[in-house]
Structure 1
Amino acid sequence: MFTQSLATAPQILNSVSHDFWPLLPEIFLLSAASVLLLIDAFSTDMDRKLSYKLAQFILLVTGVILLFQFPTSQDFLYHRHFIHDPLSATLKISMLVLTSLSLMFARPYILQRRILRGEYYLLHLFALLGMMVLVSGSSLLSLYLGLELMSLCLYALVAMNRREKLSSEAAVKYFVMGAIASGFILYGISFVYGVTSQIHVADIAAYLSDNEANLTLRFALVFIVTGLAFKFGAVPFQMWVPDVYQGAPTSTTVFLASVPKVAAFGLAIRVLVFAFAGAIADWQNLLIILSLLSMVVGNLVAIAQTNIKRLLAYSAIAHIGYFLLGIIAGNTQGYSASLFYILTYAITTVGAFGCLIYMAKGQQEISLIDDLKGLGQRNPWAGLLVSFLFLSMAGLPPFVGFWAKLEVIKAVLNVEGLIWLALVAAFMSIIGLFYYLRVVKVIFFDKAKNEARIRAERSLRLGLGITSIAVIALGLFPTQLLDFCQKAFQYI
């Protein structure tokens, strides 16, 4: 027996190493973040410079591991709770880059405020870990665990500026609404399990291919889509977005408005496309309602905003409406267009909120659109870069936002009976031009309230430069990123 065990040992080790390798980025991120937690606990550096550098180093190494083990196939591991495919790797790499940019903007901001700095970086890492688990989840259990790990870290990040009334209020609102959304999703999952007796997305899809979705399963789908709409901030579940974006520390809003949106996209694809492909007609109709309301309400309400963060919040709601168009199309062209849209939107949003940190003076923050007056006169280069970001969100060429909107609208145009939705999206894009161009007008054509030149940290200049130049470079050469997004869906 012992000899037989020795003979089978290499096979066991090979099997373990085969399963261990795809999960290595998550294992490294968890281990490194735990080590950083211990280092930070004994650190006497009040600025936590070492913690920041180590956090960026951890993100870099995790990204290198992901690139080296980028999958060329679709594998289900760990009793099919974990999926290793090009989609998950694409989303993880994107989230790592966006998180690194967010920390780049965050460090100068939190140094000037009484925010727990070591914990701030650690919460970003653990939130990212939850997102990575989420986008690789192939069962409702692993998807929900990843979602909750991400959400709990985000609640804490919103509340980091504990002495600010607006931050505390925003944290309570976000926690309550987030808990409700999680409850909706969990309630829907319980119904799915009750009907199908399955928790794996592949098994649920197999059940729906053999059986028609009954009333209970449709009821479960409504709850799950409602929870997803809360996470995205789609109308009519958007009530938390403006208050949280305004009340949270701007450095947290940079992260909150970008990276979790990419993770939520992964959740939507795993649940709707992988699990509920057999009920596409049901969730497609629900998403059409969410998309239409989000585009209309987001754009119209944004016109009346004078607070720059609330304007960007309602802009985000409108962008979610456009982004959902690709998923509504229900084909790989639409899914890759949605991924292309959410990635370009996330890059642009990081820069847009980052510019508010760039312009802040000490603890005095940029709150009104009028605070941007004369930026082009005081700092022409910064004014130009910020304008690039807003023009990209407006969807004007040659910026990447134009191609993103074009791709999702084209995806819907190719679906029979949805031409009207594409026309509504195009019309609402024209309306959205007003408030984006108003910001550009304020930057270049209004007289500055303060003639003093802006002196920003090197990391802020670097972050603003990367995001602004990216929207130009990707706008001039969109094919590379679009091909990258299309390859992510080659196994769907």
Structure 2
Amino acid sequence: MNNLNLAPLYPEVFLVIAASAILLIDMFLSDAKRNLTYMMSLAALVIAGILTWTDFSSGATVYTFRNMFVSDPMSNLLKLFCYLAVGLTFVYSRQYGSLRNMTNNGIGGEFYVMSLFALVGQMVMVSANNFLAIYLGLELMSLSTYALVALRRDHTASTEAAMKYFILGAMASGFLLYGISMLYGATGSLDLSEVARVTASGTANHTVLVFGIVFVVAGIAFKLGAAPFHMWVPDVYQGSPTSVTLILGGAPKLAVFGMAMRLLVEGMWSLAIDWQQMLTVLAVVSMAVGNITAIAQTNLKRMLAYSTISQMGFMLLGMLSGVYAGGDASAAANAYSSSMFYSITYVITTLGSFGLIMLLSRAGFEAENIDDFKGLNQRSPWFAAMMLIMMLSLAGVPPMVGFYSKLAVLQSVLATGKLWLSIVAVMFSLVGAYYYLRVIKVMYFDEAVDKTKIHASADMRVALSLNGVAVLVLGLLPGPLMAACVTAIVRTLAS
């Protein structure tokens, strides 16, 4: 292992340089020329994607910086979808911001720059092989998103959401840091490989390790938005500008999944009997709270926030199923890959859902209530079909990709013999189908109240259309993406 090899860090280094350059250039641009910032940000994502794809296609695992940073198939695949999530968010947000003249309200080039810095933090999170590196990436992402939520300074709801997010986020970071300090005290190392070796040897104080794991899992649960650490999700999703809501609900979910894999699976596999019980409780409570509470919501962004809570509970089922698989490496890999597949497809579907909310919004009007979608089929059959695909996928209805991702997770749960957990998951999925179908009913069977013509830029029309088609195609042909997830997990765990 070459600790002076900077090649694995090229995507991160490039994005830091690109974001800094974009920030400087944007200072000298007028609002009329803000499209240049948009184009430069997309170009930076494309170049970073090419660099990461080169690493991913090689299939190699490379450590650097004294094993603090690792480039492996899992991290590279997650990074590629993080680029996709942020890129689509930029495309969906351009028209949304321009219609509100948001540059005059504090959202201009800094929206793109801070989103890119948040992305760098996410990339560090999924590639970190050391407690300090994980925390560094987490804080870079968190501080950037705190600022993004607070960008709309003259909006009371955004200011309130930013305050709640910052205070609760600081608490969660404290939990995670305190848990890391206890794990360091028990094992004497910040390196995940060394932590795994010490915990497997049984020489560390088990009580201290368990206390450390409790705080670490609490920090992870907060960043995922899993119940009972979900308090910030509905308020922040609703109070933030929809473009910022999508920044929070997209790529960070992939980054936290990667962080959880590093900390729990790679670093503390020998303590799985302890943390899998916590994940079981988090998964069940998240599905219960998310699905039941979402029924009562009339605000679509708030409903999708509770939907996120329930979806994260489903994703955790895959992670804890890998633990139940015990010594069966194949079953464990299938469980983790199903969880990874679920995370990726959930993010893709969420991008389309919030993209359509931004499409229907216009100057002085936020299309964030369910009633705002009344009669959408009369106004635009195509975009109504796109929203239909998103809602059916989130509900887990075939042939959408949401059905296959839920099926893959349930199969991994059944493979462990935990039939009761599968039944609970299916029952709560049936409950959740109600509020998704309610949106479909409103679009197709209610009379349109707002008959304003829908205006969409060419890039947004193309992106939304491809987003919807991708959700359908991945449901019909999930094999390639699932195979990529399985290969990434197997090679990563083998290294």
Quickly name the TM-score band, shorter chain normalised: over 0.9
Q: Deviations over 1:318-348 (max 9, x none)?
A: 0011010000012111110000000000000
In the other structure, the counterpart of 1:123 is 114
In the other structure, the counterpart of 2:5 is 19
- TM-score after normalising by structure 2: 0.94
In the other structure, the counterpart of 2:472 is 472
Code of the residue aligned with 1:207 in structure 2: it is V
In the other structure, the counterpart of 1:346 is 347
Separation (CA, whole Å) in 1 of partners of 2:312 and 2:215: 19
Separation (CA, whole Å) in 2 of partners of 1:167 and 1:46: 25
2:50 aligned residue (54, 58, 64): 64
2:155 aligned residue (154, 164, 171): 164
Q: Deviations over 1:276-318 (max 9, x none)?
A: 1010010000000000000011101111111111110100000
Secondary structure (helix, strand or coil) at the match of 2:128 reads coil
Deviation at 1:45, TM superposition (A): 4.1
Q: Name the CA shift for 1:63/1:363 in 2 (closer, same or farther; >3 Å).
A: same
Q: What does 1:20-59 align with in structure 2 at a 5 Å threshold?
A: 20-59=6-45
Please tell me whether the aligned partners of residues 47 and 117 of structure 1 are also in contact (alpha carbons under 8 angstroms). no
Secondary structure (helix, strand or coil) at the match of 1:76 reads strand
CA-based RMSD of the aligned residues comes to 1.3
In the other structure, the counterpart of 1:423 is 423
Separation (CA, whole Å) in 1 of partners of 2:252 and 2:406: 20
Q: Which moved more, 1:359-368 or 1:130-139?
A: 359-368
Secondary structure (helix, strand or coil) at the match of 2:63 reads strand
1:88 aligns with 2:75: yes
Deviation at 1:459, TM superposition (A): 2.8
Aligned length: 477
2:291 aligned residue (292, 299, 310): 299
In the other structure, the counterpart of 1:11 is none
Gaps of 5+ in 1: 1-13
In the other structure, the counterpart of 2:327 is none
Separation (CA, whole Å) in 2 of partners of 1:296 and 1:385: 28
Please tell me whether the aligned partners of residues 125 and 134 of structure 2 are also in contact (alpha carbons under 8 angstroms). yes
Separation (CA, whole Å) in 2 of partners of 1:486 and 1:115: 43
Deviation at 1:44, TM superposition (A): 3.0
Please tell me whether the aligned partners of residues 154 and 256 of structure 1 are also in contact (alpha carbons under 8 angstroms). yes
Separation (CA, whole Å) in 2 of partners of 1:282 and 1:405: 25
Please tell me whether the aligned partners of residues 2 and 63 of structure 2 are also in contact (alpha carbons under 8 angstroms). no
- TM-score after normalising by structure 1: 0.95
In the other structure, the counterpart of 1:142 is 133
Please tell me whether the aligned partners of residues 255 and 350 of structure 1 are also in contact (alpha carbons under 8 angstroms). no
Kindly report structure 1 stretches of 4+ aligned residues shifted beyond 4 Å: none
Separation (CA, whole Å) in 1 of partners of 2:49 and 2:91: 16
Taking only the aligned residue pairs, the percentage that are identical comes to 44
Please tell me whether the aligned partners of residues 246 and 309 of structure 1 are also in contact (alpha carbons under 8 angstroms). yes
Code of the residue aligned with 1:93 in structure 2: it is L
Separation (CA, whole Å) in 1 of partners of 2:108 and 2:309: 30
Code of the residue aligned with 2:385 in structure 1: it is L
Secondary structure (helix, strand or coil) at the match of 2:106 reads coil
Secondary structure (helix, strand or coil) at the match of 2:449 reads coil
1:489 aligns with 2:481: no
Gaps of 5+ in 2: 323-331
Secondary structure (helix, strand or coil) at the match of 2:70 reads strand
1:401 aligns with 2:402: yes
Secondary structure (helix, strand or coil) at the match of 1:449 reads coil
In the other structure, the counterpart of 1:74 is 61
Please tell me whether the aligned partners of residues 121 and 140 of structure 2 are also in contact (alpha carbons under 8 angstroms). yes
Separation (CA, whole Å) in 2 of partners of 1:370 and 1:34: 42
